[in-house]
Amino acid sequence: MANSKDIYHPSKEVVDYATIKDYDKLYKQSVKNPEKFWADEAKRLDWFKPWDKVLDSSNFPFYKWFVGGKTNIIQNALDRHLTNANRNKLALIWEGEPGDIRTYSYHALSREVCEFANVLKAMGVRKGDIVTIYMPQIPEQIFAMLACAKIGAPHSVIYGGFSHEAIAERVNDAKSRVIVTADGGYRRGKATRLKEIVNRAMEIAPTLEICITVKRTGEEVHMENDRDYWYHDLRSLPIAEKCCCTEEVDAEDPLFILYTSGSTGKPKGLVHTHGGYSVYTSATHRMVFDIKPEDRWWCAADPGWITGHSYMVYGPLINGATIFMYEGAPNHPYPDRWWKMIDKFGINILYTSPTAIRGLMRYGESWVTKHDLSTLRLLGSVGEPINPEAWKWYHRVVGKEKCPIMDTWWQTETGGFVITPLPITPLKPGSATKPFFGHEIAVVDETGSEVGPNEVGALVLKKPFPGMARTIFNEPERYIETYWKKYEEKKWYHAGDSAKKDEDGYFWIIGRSDDVIKVSGYRLGTAEIESAVVSHDSVTEAAAIPLPHELKGNAIYVYAILRDGEKPSKALEREVKDHVGKVMGPIAKPESVSFVDSLPKTRSGKIMRRVLKARALGEDEGDVTTMDD
Ligand code: WT7
């Protein structure tokens, strides 16, 4: 179990190397005048026109940052590097699962992005149009994102593991006319068939008119005239000529929409902006990982999630880092694939999830120790609480006890790190430690009073910050309802996590307090899973709960009521599991489906998932006075 007395102090070497040596002093200044802190950070970036006002809080909770400023994230992530020493520096090193390698300097990356942007423009994409991207982890995924940003067209990236129904639901909300995909990608030695999934999505997503497909695997795909185009055909046309001007946008113009699961069935399209998001991702990335010009940075996430957006693509590029990207599975062809690549490319910082660490841990130490990992300087963790056992293994076996672990707590909503150590922070395994600069954070009860040390409560963020999502696309009311209603009078952001703060001011995240399940760090709504279960013909009603799982952190357990006349069987259980996997994508496939006669409900008919969970774990059911018989 996590222990608040178990402390790892940074070595003298780490402290000597660190740029920020005094957290407390800088923290105090930052919260005394957050607007000054954020404005100073913003001044490190290029602006076409400076802002008139740092923060406009006149229309709570719809904060605006750097109001009146003109920018484009591409000016900072690419264009400005072309006129300085970064021009010929590697921006991107990519390795495909079969072992193919591609590298791009900042100059080369910018040319790729210009060509992609010109192709999008030729396909009729204009400033403000939302382009959907559904890609494997190949460089073109990044080109497509940056190309959209460059022309002021917000992107909506959908994780390549999602189903055609999930794509259609998101496309229909965003009303995308253009989708960018690939024939497929490689995963565990096999080619995935993304274009086929997009074709099925296009049948039920009427706004989609054009699909641009990048060739990766060479598998045969079905294409239709006047709808489907190969990217390599389009880029060889004169329309894709090399130069493309970066569109000037307002600081508050949307950069992207990213859909994430919430308490109700429909995914939320969180909106992030060019200005505030540029400032927030670059500042957090630079300070927390103490980025130096020579660093090779590997965020082993998928660009389809916020981690990929903020710390694989935008933050590191703004900071002029060299990013590493890998296409496939960590254990393919052998469980040392990651360690081999760290050795080969001389990676300095690895940022990944507890699930990935636990997954690699089970193969034993020798897969790690046979490679030279001495280039590693820092490690990172994100997505769910890291259990101390995995933390210690990561620290000892991967980091050789010399690399501090940055356990960063944040959310799709926050755009970047919120609770996190710095390299100089004394670490407690399992704790994300302390607030990042500019943040005041508390653990409170229902009424908003702070709970005592080590008591469980709700995590709230008290101050506005530039990385915060501005709204939920199409649903501003839901934005208020979900995050701001609960502590409206105090104007606090309600994060939806339960947490504790210990006597040293360290935060310990316990997990979601709403109907969101974290499986392998992926966020899934119980309502979405349940509606996928009941879309199976044999099922009438279902409840989904998370139960602890050794590798995944949590696994999904489903309790389902069968239609009259249907009989429970192993075969039916398998069928329902596969069905959910098909409807939502493989990550949502339940660990177990149990058929039951009834579900515990409140008198008003709400399923009491808490009771199901307590029963499954053999724990006390707690207060059941509202339960129907
Ligand atoms: C939820 C947000 C942040 C990018 C990836 C996930 C959980 C995230 C940590 C951490 C404990 C964590 C929280 C949060 N979470 N990082 N370091 N320690 N829990 O983004 O999918 O929006 O999920 O992930 O429960 O609310 P997301």
Per-residue three-class SS string for 70-123 = EECHHHHHCHHHHHCHHHHCEEEEEECCCCCEEEEEHHHHHHHHHHHHHHHHHC
Here the tokens at position 207 are 């706004």
* Residue from 407, 411, 417 whose mutation best tests the ligand 1 pocket (most atoms within 8 A of CB): 411
Helix, coil or strand: residue 457: strand
Contact status, residue 482 vs residue 269, Cβ threshold 8 Å: no
Positive or negative, the CA dihedral 33, 35, 36, 42 is positive
Q: Give the residue from 260, 221, 340 showing the smallest Cα distance to 512.
A: 260
CB 260 less than 6 A from any atom of ligand 1: yes
* Other CB atoms within 10 Å distance of the CB of residue 627: 13
Q: What's the rounded Cα separation, in Å, for the pair 13 and 226? A: 61
Q: Give the residue from 165, 230, 153 showing the smallest Cα distance to 202.
A: 165
**Mean pLDDT across 396-401:** 98
Bridge partners of residue 407, in order along the sequence: 381
Percentage of the chain beyond pLDDT 70 is: 99
Summarised one tens digit per residue, pLDDT across range 102-123 is 999 999 999 999 999 999 999 9
Looking at residue 629, its pLDDT comes to 64
Minimum CA distance residue for ligand 1 atom 23? 411
User: Which spans in 106-211 are helix H?
Assistant: 106-122, 139-150, 164-174, 194-203
The answer on pLDDT for 628 being more than 60 is yes
Q: 627 versus 440: which is more confidently predicted?
A: 440
Burial 373-390 (b: 16+ CB within 10 A, else e): beebbbbbbbbbbbbbeb
Looking at residue 240, its pLDDT comes to 84
Here the tokens at position 135 are 């890609």
Least confident of 17-31, 206-220, 595-609: 595-609
Looking at residue 265, its pLDDT comes to 75
State the average pLDDT for the chain.
96
Residue 459 CA, ligand 1 centroid: distance in Å: 12
The answer on pLDDT for 198 being more than 90 is yes
Q: What's the rounded Cα separation, in Å, for the pair 10 and 191? A: 44
Question: Which distant-in-sequence residues (6+ apart) come within 8 Å of 40 by Cβ?
Answer: none
Minimum CA distance residue for ligand 1 atom 20? 411
CB 412 less than 6 A from any atom of ligand 1: yes
Minimum CA distance residue for ligand 1 atom 21? 523
The answer on pLDDT for 480 being more than 90 is yes
Here the tokens at position 55 are 């923060």
The answer on pLDDT for 204 being more than 70 is yes
* Other CB atoms within 10 Å distance of the CB of residue 242: 10
Looking at residue 602, its pLDDT comes to 83
Residue 495 CA, ligand 1 centroid: distance in Å: 10
Summarised one tens digit per residue, pLDDT across range 238-262 is 888 878 999 999 999 999 999 998 7
Contact status, residue 109 vs residue 134, Cβ threshold 8 Å: no
Summarised one tens digit per residue, pLDDT across range 331-352 is 999 999 999 999 999 999 999 9
Q: What's the rounded Cα separation, in Å, for the pair 146 and 468? A: 20
Q: What's the rounded Cα separation, in Å, for the pair 446 and 441? A: 16
CB 520 less than 6 A from any atom of ligand 1: no
CB 432 less than 6 A from any atom of ligand 1: yes
Looking at residue 2, its pLDDT comes to 61
Minimum CA distance residue for ligand 1 atom 5? 383
Burial 482-518 (b: 16+ CB within 10 A, else e): bbbebbeeeebbbbbbbbbbbeeebbbbebbbebbbb
* Residue from 309, 357, 382, 472 whose mutation best tests the ligand 1 pocket (most atoms within 8 A of CB): 382
For the chain, what is the largest distance between any 2 Cα atoms, rounded to a whole number of angstroms?
72
- Reported in sequence order, the residue ranges of 327-391 that DSSP labels E, i.e. its strands, are 349-352, 378-381
Q: What's the rounded Cα separation, in Å, for the pair 4 and 389? A: 14
Looking at residue 3, its pLDDT comes to 67
Please compute Rg for the chain using Cα positions: 24
Helix, coil or strand: residue 524: strand
Looking at residue 290, its pLDDT comes to 98
* Other CB atoms within 10 Å distance of the CB of residue 263: 15
Looking at residue 519, its pLDDT comes to 94
CA 524 from chain center: how many Å? 13
* pLDDT band for position 289 (cuts 50, 70, 90): very high
**Mean pLDDT across 542-550:** 94
Atom of ligand 1 nearest to the CA of 412: 22
**Mean pLDDT across 124-128:** 98
* pLDDT band for position 607 (cuts 50, 70, 90): confident
Burial class (CB in 10 A: 0-12, 13-18, 19+), 2: middle
* pLDDT band for position 622 (cuts 50, 70, 90): confident
Summarised one tens digit per residue, pLDDT across range 411-456 is 999 999 999 999 999 999 999 999 999 999 999 999 999 999 999 9
CB 435 less than 6 A from any atom of ligand 1: no
Q: What's the rounded Cα separation, in Å, for the pair 111 and 108? A: 5
CB 262 less than 6 A from any atom of ligand 1: no
Per-residue three-class SS string for 459-494 = EEECCCCCCCCCEECCCHHHHHHHHHCCCHHHCCEE
Contact status, residue 556 vs residue 524, Cβ threshold 8 Å: yes
Minimum CA distance residue for ligand 1 atom 8? 383
The answer on pLDDT for 366 being more than 90 is yes
Atom of ligand 1 nearest to the CA of 419: 17
State yes or no: cis peptide before 238, omega within 30 of 0: no
pTM of the model: 0.95
The answer on pLDDT for 1 being more than 60 is no
Task: Let me know how many helices (H) and strands (E) the chain has, helices first.
Answer: 20, 30
CB 497 less than 6 A from any atom of ligand 1: yes
Q: What's the rounded Cα separation, in Å, for the pair 131 and 72? A: 17
Query: Residue type at 40?
Result: D
Q: What's the rounded Cα separation, in Å, for the pair 53 and 430? A: 39
* pLDDT band for position 398 (cuts 50, 70, 90): very high
Contact status, residue 465 vs residue 438, Cβ threshold 8 Å: yes
The answer on pLDDT for 125 being more than 70 is yes
Question: Which distant-in-sequence residues (6+ apart) come within 8 Å of 275 by Cβ?
Answer: 42, 51, 65, 66, 69, 71, 250, 251, 252, 466
* Residue from 518, 528, 554, 587 whose mutation best tests the ligand 1 pocket (most atoms within 8 A of CB): 518
* Other CB atoms within 10 Å distance of the CB of residue 452: 10
**Mean pLDDT across 309-337:** 98
Minimum CA distance residue for ligand 1 atom 17? 409
Here the tokens at position 246 are 């970066």
CB 409 less than 6 A from any atom of ligand 1: yes
